[in-house]
Amino acid sequence: DTGVSQDPRHKITKRGQNVTFRCDPISEHNRLYWYRQTLGQGPEFLTYFQNEAQLEKSRLLSDRFSAERPKGSFSTLEIQRTEQGDSAMYLCASSRRNQGSYGYTFGSGTRLTVV
Amino acid sequence: DQQVKQNSPSLSVQEGRISILNCDYTNSMFDYFLWYKKYPAEGPTFLISISSIKDKNEDGRFTVFLNKSAKHLSLHIVPSQPGDSAVYFCAASAEGAGKSTFGDGTTLTVKP
């Protein structure tokens, strides 16, 4: 069990550019989640997958955001035409199907800065 | 509409004393309540949880209490240690739902 890995750890991009982040979950976990966190706030739900199926996407998520989990293993989160308001920590987490009271395992996050 | 609220942004306690972190929620459909701990430059780490059918769950120095009628839960840490200094997030989820809803966190500082 190597934990949840996220790459890159930091990304600085110019406004209008596209960025893509990768998450490798714990191998036995079939659920994968993306959250966003800004300073002084808690993690905000973006989307989640069960295996390769994207089961829920936050209605707050604009069409510029897209996530995939093509083979039910790693996942990518892409942001197109980045805006300064996209600057945040993007957290990936994984869990077994019936998370219930067992909680998520989070990665260390990707910090995005849009300049 | 914030469904999970942590009204105290920060808390400072002396080493050895009790730390009490509070959390309120509004959605009566929540079935599980969880606490996470976060150190700087790391992702949150799951700490302890409680099911809505219980009113107390204990794990070592950490105890979570749930008052369903008041829609309130609290995390007690006793005795507090300097290594407990971190941001603590309260989260809630509904049975069968994939996502958890998080509060904005409370920064705990335990002074030696």
B39-88 pLDDT per residue, tens = 998 999 999 999 999 999 999 999 999 999 999 999 999 999 999 999 99
CB contact under 8 A, B43 and A109: yes
CA distance B51 to A53: 27
As given in the structure block, the two tokens for residue A65 are 């955001």
pLDDT for residue B22 is more than 90: yes
A12 contacts A19 by C-beta, under 8 angstroms:
no
pLDDT, mean of residues B87-96? 92
Best of B51, B73, B89, B100 to substitute, by most chain A Cβ atoms within 10 angstroms, is B100
What's the Cα-to-Cα distance from B109 to each of A17, B47, B63, B71, rounded to whole Å? 39, 17, 18, 26
Interchain contact A31–B (C-beta under 8 A)? yes
Task: Give the CA distances from residue A32 to residues A84, B23, B47, in Å, rounded to whole numbers and listed in that order.
Answer: 26, 26, 19
Report d(CA A4, CA A48) in Å as an integer.
15
Model confidence pLDDT, tens digit, residues A71-93: 889 999 999 999 999 999 999 99
Contact B49 A55 (CB under 8 A): no
Across the range A7-24, mean pLDDT stands at 98
Interface check A59 vs B, CB under 8 A = no
Q: Is the pLDDT of residue B11 over 90?
A: yes
Q: What is the pLDDT of residue B2?
A: 86
Give pLDDT, residue B1: 73
How close is the nearest chain B Cα to the Cα of A74, in Å? 18
CB contact under 8 A, B98 and A48: yes
State the pLDDT at residue B14: 98
Radius of gyration of chain A (CA): 13
Residue of chain A whose Cα is closest to the Cα of B53: A101
Average pLDDT across chain A, whole number? 93
B79 cis-preceded (ω within 30 degrees of 0)? yes
Q: What is the pLDDT of residue B91?
A: 96
pLDDT recorded at residue A93: 96
Answer yes or no: is pLDDT of A1 > 60: no
Q: Which of A53-62, A102-111, B32-41 has the lowest mean pLDDT?
A: A53-62
Give Cα separations from B90 to A20, A37, A61, A115, B3 (angstroms).
29, 14, 23, 32, 11
Q: Is the CB of residue B39 less than 8 Å away from at least one CB of chain A?
A: no
Task: Please check whether residue B4 touches A, CB under 8 A.
Answer: yes
What average pLDDT score do residues B99-105 get? 95
**Which residue's entry shows tokens 């006793």?**
B78
CA B100 vs CA A3, A10, A42, A88, B30: distances in Å = 20, 25, 11, 19, 9
B102 — contact with chain A (CB < 8 Å)?
yes
Residue B46 in contact with partner chain A when CB distance is under 8 A:
yes
The predicted pLDDT at position B27 comes to: 93
Alpha-carbon distances, residue B62 vs B12, B65, B79, B99 (angstroms): 17, 10, 9, 24
**Is residue A98 scored above 80 in pLDDT?**
no
> Is pLDDT of B16 > 90?
yes
Would you say B51 and B31 are in contact if contact means Cβ atoms under 8 Å apart?
yes
- What mean pLDDT comes out for the span A45-63? 91
pLDDT for the residue numbered A46: 96
